[in-house]
Structure 1
Amino acid sequence: MSRFITITLVVGHFLGPASGWSRQSVSGPMETQLMRAIDHTLRQEYWAAESVFRLLAEEYPNHPAANLYWAGMLQARAEDYSELPDRRRFDSLLIVADEKAQRLQSREETLAEGLYYAGSVLSYQSYVSSSTGEWFRAVTKGISAVSNLNKALARDSSLVGCYVGIGTYNYWKSRKTQFLSWLPFVRDDRVEGINQLRIGFRKGTYNRYLSASSLIIVLIDAGEYAEAVDVADAVLAKYPSNRHYLHWRAVACEQWGRLEEALTAYGRLLENLKADTNLHAFRRLQCNLKLADIHLRLGQMDRALEYARVTRDYAPNSFPEHLRETAAQRLAEGRKIEQHIRSLGAGSR
């Protein structure tokens, strides 16, 4: 397994647990407010989401949902803004969520729900461990997470949000051990994993917009590009400015070989990136270079040169420290594209 498994596992848990909200202890005003906070997050209104999570944590001090999804929102914001997450806040929210999940497990009537939230906490902890290079801890936490989710689902089949984490794990576990599939004791669970993710996406109403992330990424890896685009479009119909889904829709089109459609998708993403003043230039740089590369592959030299020239506007030390090495590589790629076009005698001078 790799860091990619833990990334998609944690994303799936943040974006896909809404079905668990149908539990009796998460209903009425609490459910409405949780939906509101997640809606703010998907609209990338992070400060509004945080205000709702903070209020929920105060009003429902015995339930782990607000603390768990608050941590998920912090991680989503960090990923969106290409920032380092606030580890102290992130870890403290997970610790509190886990304590509350353990208390839910102490009562038979809330045991399944407690297992569900405990599994979700373990998923986040697995991701954090992978991001710091603690691979053994990341894998063990991930396995424990899926164990809890399977136990929760066995006790309460209505917790269909569990399928997101389980399906993600099953797919990537088999994908990364594919070279051993000829052995009789090594199962290939990729198809099962995709079907489990489809259940997580299709069941319910609101949560179908939230559990799509892991499904799209898995479908792209499996070469099911048309379905990946369809799932992304379903989310973007409600959240047309969500950069996460704009990005993965563009990736699906590109890998599908529909380069003109990919240009449109990346162009839409770039306009969105330009419009948000809270974002620094790194993601715009990446998107410009992707557009330059696709135009180059299509033989559209002038347009490729136009996007590659963005490298002239930046120096590596203009980016945050944790991005400087990667930014330097991207800037070098842009210069290489520009030099290649000029070596062909193409492009405007």
Structure 2
Amino acid sequence: MNAAVGDDFDARIDRGLEILYQGQYQEAIDTFDVFISQHPKNPAGYFFKAGAYQLRSMSYETQVWDDTQALLLDSSLELSHKAVNRDRRDPWAFFIRGGTYAYRAAIKARAKDYFSALSNGLSAVSDLNKAAALDPQLYDAYLGIGSFHYFRTKAASILKWLPFIGDNREKGIAEIKTAMEKGRYSKVLAQNGLAWIYLDYEKYPLALEQAQQLEKSFPQNHIFFWIAPEVYRRTKQWDKGSAGYARLLKLLDQSQPMNNFNRVFVGSRLAKCYYQEKKYREALEASQKALGLALDERSAQRLKYERGRAFEVLKQAQKKLKISQ
């Protein structure tokens, strides 16, 4: 007799997630591989490994692992679908299948394939609602449910072909907070997602509160250090913004010395903050460094705006320094 999906978990899932959030991506992937080798019919291993590649791709701003992640999501979907058909009372089978659809929705949204994103999102929230109904204590499900409610409202204001069904942003935030406070596997992702949502919602003190907690918990993982300086930049707290971007740039130099995409982006923002502080020498140096980093054609196109801003800061800083001499 086949065990329920959740009955077949072991401590490697927890361990893999723990080291994943520390930024040890390959070690986390290796840990999930061990789980897969011992539980090849359990969709959870493929699901969490796909999540590790998702976070790794976000960290490096790259598409190099997209095909690998797609194959893992295919395996997760196939096995979770079988698990659902085998036992329609298994909440974790619905959770894994719903989570897999949620990853696919996010991928489609980034590719601006909004029809596919919506279709996958609807499938995700349907399965996650079933998981939560079957097990009211499966709080991890509320991360996906809440994210859908928030971003479905946001999408309706941008994509005019979507019917408006009311503002569910606060409902979505409350659901994500439930996952953050009570979930087992989704606490960190829920907190990070909540911080970004607060930033998007322009609730800057709340975004900063969550971001600072994440920085304290994971001091070596740069992926949690983007929000605070962005809050300071948007609220024109230039000194705090420059300190935050300088710290982020240092982490990038240490962990991703060959990843120029992130370093150009952060360097441009750092230069702008320095300029607004009237630190023209530092602004000049930061903009020169950002503009001097080599980029491939795709990255250069994506960073066209940021590089333009860095060039403008460079020219303005040169003028200010010339006047002061």
TM surpasses 0.5? yes
CA–CA distance in structure 1, aligned partners of residues 217 and 171 of structure 2: 28
| Aligned residue type for 1:343 | K
The DSSP-based 3-state class of the residue aligned with 2:36 is helix
Q: 2:31 aligns with which of 25, 42, 52?
A: 52
Equivalent in the alignment of 1:326: 302
Tell me, yes or no, if the aligned pair for 1:273 and 1:284 is still in contact at 8 Å. Answer: yes
Q: 2:233 aligns with which of 254, 259, 271?
A: 254
Equivalent in the alignment of 1:138: 117
Q: Aligned in 2, Cα 1:348/1:38: closer, same or farther, shift over 3 Å?
A: farther
CA–CA distance in structure 1, aligned partners of residues 184 and 304 of structure 2: 44
Tell me, yes or no, if the aligned pair for 1:167 and 1:194 is still in contact at 8 Å. Answer: yes
CA–CA distance in structure 1, aligned partners of residues 266 and 58 of structure 2: 15
The DSSP-based 3-state class of the residue aligned with 1:241 is coil
Q: 2:178 aligns with which of 188, 191, 199?
A: 199
State the shift of 1:207 in Å.
4.4
Indicate the RMSD between aligned Cα atoms, in angstroms. 2.5
State the shift of 1:152 in Å.
1.4
* 5+ residue gaps, structure 1: 1-22
Residues 1:150 and 2:129 are matched in the alignment:
yes
> 1:1-349 residue pairs with structure 2 within 5 A?
24-27=6-9, 30=10, 32-108=11-87, 110-177=89-156, 186-204=165-183, 207-277=186-256, 279-314=258-293, 318-345=294-321
State the shift of 1:41 in Å.
1.5
State the shift of 1:313 in Å.
2.1
TM-score between both structures, scaled by the size of structure 1: 0.83
Query: Which range moves more in the overlay, 83-92 or 193-202?
Result: 83-92
Deviations 1:18-57 (A, max 9, x none): xxxxx85154xx1x21111112221221111121111111
Tell me, yes or no, if the aligned pair for 1:65 and 1:97 is still in contact at 8 Å. Answer: yes
| Higher RCO by CA contacts (8 Å cutoff, separation 6 or greater) | 1
CA–CA distance in structure 2, aligned partners of residues 248 and 312 of structure 1: 23
Deviations 1:190-237 (A, max 9, x none): 111111111111115774333212101111122222221221222222
CA–CA distance in structure 2, aligned partners of residues 312 and 133 of structure 1: 28
- The size of the alignment, in residue pairs, is 318
Query: Which range moves more in the overlay, 266-275 or 100-109?
Result: 100-109
State the shift of 1:165 in Å.
1.1
CA–CA distance in structure 1, aligned partners of residues 128 and 257 of structure 2: 36
| Aligned residue type for 1:330 | E
Q: Aligned in 2, Cα 1:200/1:81: closer, same or farther, shift over 3 Å?
A: same
Q: Aligned in 2, Cα 1:347/1:285: closer, same or farther, shift over 3 Å?
A: farther
Tell me, yes or no, if the aligned pair for 2:16 and 2:31 is still in contact at 8 Å. Answer: yes
CA–CA distance in structure 2, aligned partners of residues 26 and 224 of structure 1: 40
The DSSP-based 3-state class of the residue aligned with 1:210 is helix
Q: Aligned in 2, Cα 1:105/1:122: closer, same or farther, shift over 3 Å?
A: same
Tell me, yes or no, if the aligned pair for 1:53 and 1:70 is still in contact at 8 Å. Answer: yes
State the shift of 1:334 in Å.
1.7
Tell me, yes or no, if the aligned pair for 1:209 and 1:234 is still in contact at 8 Å. Answer: no
CA–CA distance in structure 1, aligned partners of residues 145 and 63 of structure 2: 27
The DSSP-based 3-state class of the residue aligned with 1:305 is helix
Tell me, yes or no, if the aligned pair for 1:104 and 1:110 is still in contact at 8 Å. Answer: no
Tell me, yes or no, if the aligned pair for 1:126 and 1:142 is still in contact at 8 Å. Answer: yes
TM-score between both structures, scaled by the size of structure 2: 0.88
Tell me, yes or no, if the aligned pair for 1:266 and 1:287 is still in contact at 8 Å. Answer: yes
State the shift of 1:273 in Å.
0.6
Give percent identity, aligned residues only: 21
CA–CA distance in structure 1, aligned partners of residues 180 and 143 of structure 2: 8
Q: Aligned in 2, Cα 1:289/1:347: closer, same or farther, shift over 3 Å?
A: farther
